[in-house]
Amino acid sequence: MIIIFVMIAVNMIGGRFSNPLDWLQHKILLLPAIVIGLTFHEAAHGFVSYKLGDPTPKNQGRLTLDPRAHMDPFGFLALIFAGFGWGIPVQIDPRYYKHPRRDEFFVSIAGVTTNFIIALIAMIINTLLLMNNIVDSGSVVTQVLNYMVVINIILMCFNLLPIPPLDGFSILTQIFDLRKYSWYYSFYNKGFLLLMVFVLLGVTDNFLGKGVSLVYNFMLEITLRVIQVL
C-alpha cells in the first residue's frame, strides 16, 4: 500500500492533476474500459476453470459479469490515480483438473485472451463508425472506444509480464513446470513486492510501451482485413 501511495504522490507532483477538470473528464471516459477490462479478465479465468471441472469460482460467486464481484477497491483506485491496477484474483483448485498443467495453462491465458478480443471488437466497431461517418474522431463514442482498445491492450501486456502473481508467470510455470524448482515458492511470495518496485522505478514502461505498440499495430491489420471482408 505504501508503494501505491508513493506512486499517486509522484503522479500529482508530475502535474497530472494540474488541470482537474480535464483530468476528471479523462477519467470518466476511461471508466467503462477499466471496469469492462478488469471484470471480463477475471470472469474469464473463473469461467474457464469452472468448465474444466473446478467448482471453486462458482462457489465463490465469480461466474458473473457483475463488476462488484471482481473489482478490488485498492486496485481500482490505483488504476485511476496511479496508472496501474488489478482486480480480485480468481481462486482456483487445480486438483479438479483432469490434466492439471494443461488446464491451468488454459485458465492462465483466458484473461489476456479476453482482453485481446474486447480490444479487437472495440477497434473494429470504432473503425466502422468512423469510415461510415456515423461519428467523428472527437466524439465521446470514439474516445470511449479508443480507451477500450488501449486499456485492454495494456491489461493484456501488463498481465503477460513474467512476474508473480501475473498471468505471464503462471503461463511460464505451466510450460516449464517451475513448481519443481526449490526457488519457486520463495520467488512467488516476493513477486507482488517485486512487481510494485519495477512499476515504481519505471522498469515495466519499456516493455509495456513496445508491447502495446506491437499488439495495437497487429490488431489494426486484423481490423482492416475484417473490414475488407465486410
Catalytic residues: 42
User: Are 109 and 160 a contacting pair, CB within 8 Å?
Assistant: no
Say how far apart CA 191 and CA 92 lie, in whole Å.
19
- DSSP, collapsed to helix, strand or coil, labels residue 71 as strand
For 61, left (φ over 0), alpha (ψ -120 to 50), or beta?
left
CA dist 57 and 51 (Å) reads: 10
What cell numbers appear for 184 in the block? 519457486
Q: Is the peptide bond before 20 cis (omega within 30 degrees of 0)?
A: no
The DSSP letter of residue 53 is T
The DSSP string of 14-72 is TTTTSSHHHHHHHHHHHHHHHHHHHHHHHHHHHHHHHHTT--HHHHTT-SS--GGGTB-
Q: What are phi and psi of 120, to 5 degrees?
A: -65, -45
